[in-house]
Amino acid sequence: MKDPRVKTKRPTSEPDSLDEQLEVWGRELPTLDLETEGIVERIQKLERHLDRSARETLERFDLSHGEWRLMGHLRYSGPPYRGKPGKLAKHLGLSSGAMTNRLDNMERRGLVRRLDDPDDRRGVIVELTAAGQELWEETVGMQAQKEAFVAGVLDDDEKSRLNDLLRRMVRAFEDLHGPVHKHHA
């Protein structure tokens, strides 16, 4: 009779493009933890795939990643989707000159507009236009469809479990190193 305390390994899925590499590493570096290496390598590979997919989406709409992030930050701020250029530049890791150039370009394209700051006669406030809101929503929607297609290989319970596991991993890194502030302007 089987001991109920002993967990049996669940069946594995079909091999992927990393399995052969991991097999070589196992042979060449026998003390290497292949399960951990598999996790890390697969997360990194998925990140590259997701990044490429996002770049393709943004290219289709003639947007840079930095422009998309700026629009997203304005959306995140809530209606009326406004922000001060200095704070936006800091959030995006840009110099004031680079922020001015980005805003000039986006304003020419009708994605944002500059308004006088009622609290500072010399200042401006950046506002996401209706066209900018629509474009941002369209890009997010398209990317969400691509990501849903990929995540579609998992059922709802698997997605929930994977989110829980990844959340624990992120928290462990953040507890050890603090949050990652990624500035891809």
Domain residues of the chain, as ranges?
Answer: 28-172
Dihedral angle computed from the Cα positions of residues 140, 53, 65 and 116, in that order, rounded to the nearest 10 degrees: -10
DSSP H or E segment with residue 114: strand 112-117
Q: What is the pLDDT of residue 182?
A: 58
Model-level pTM greater than 0.85?
Answer: no
Rounded Cα distance between 132 and 74, Å, is 10
Q: What is the pLDDT of residue 120?
A: 87
pLDDT tens per residue, range 87-146: 999 999 999 999 999 999 999 999 999 999 998 888 999 999 999 999 999 999 999 999
Q: Domain spanning 28-172 has what CATH number?
A: 1.10.10.10
Q: What is the pLDDT of residue 33?
A: 93
